[in-house]
């Protein structure tokens, strides 16, 4: 399972398009391939800033579903600019810290 952060940014002129695709995903009228892809995404958290025209999503995707789940980002990119980053959850971050401490100690 991979964790990702996606940031969708748009201009004020693109706001109607963002509203349209968001509604289409939420009400089930988006293209069937997008709806199927959205089912592969396990949403962890979401933050929306209409004043600054961006939306942040934190979500998990099984490695085997990554290509299909990416269709949601492709769909969103038709109305704004999307950036997606792989990130670590808390457990993985703690493990990385422990490994880095061992490395620093010469182990």
The CATH number given to 2-104 is: 3.30.70.100
- Beta-carbon neighbour count of residue 30 at 10 Å? 21
36 contact partners, CB below 8 Å, separation of at least 6: 68, 71
Instruction: State the pLDDT at residue 95.
Output: 87
Question: What is the pLDDT, as a whole number, of residue 107?
Answer: 77
pLDDT at res. 56? 96
What is the mean pLDDT for each group of 10 consecutive residues in the chain (107 residues)?
Answer: 93 93 94 94 93 94 90 91 90 86 85
Structure tokens at 22: 């968001």
DSSP codes of every residue in 36-99: HHHHT-EEEEEEEETTTTEEEEEEEE-GGGHHHHTHHHHHHTTTSEEEEEEE--HHHHHHHHHH
């Amino acid at each position: 399972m991979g964790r990702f952060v996606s940031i969708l940014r748009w201009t004020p002129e693109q706001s109607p398009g963002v509203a349209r695709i968001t509604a289409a995903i939420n009400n089930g009228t988006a293209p069937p391939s997008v709806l199927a892809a959205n089912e592969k995404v396990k949403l962890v958290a979401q933050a929306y800033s209409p004043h600054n025209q961006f939306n942040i999503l934190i979500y998990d995707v099984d490695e085997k579903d990554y290509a299909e789940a990416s269709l949601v980002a492709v769909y969103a990119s038709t109305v704004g600019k999307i950036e997606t980053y792989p990130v670590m959850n808390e457990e993985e971050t703690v493990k990385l810290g422990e490994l880095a401490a061992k490395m620093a100690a010469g182990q």
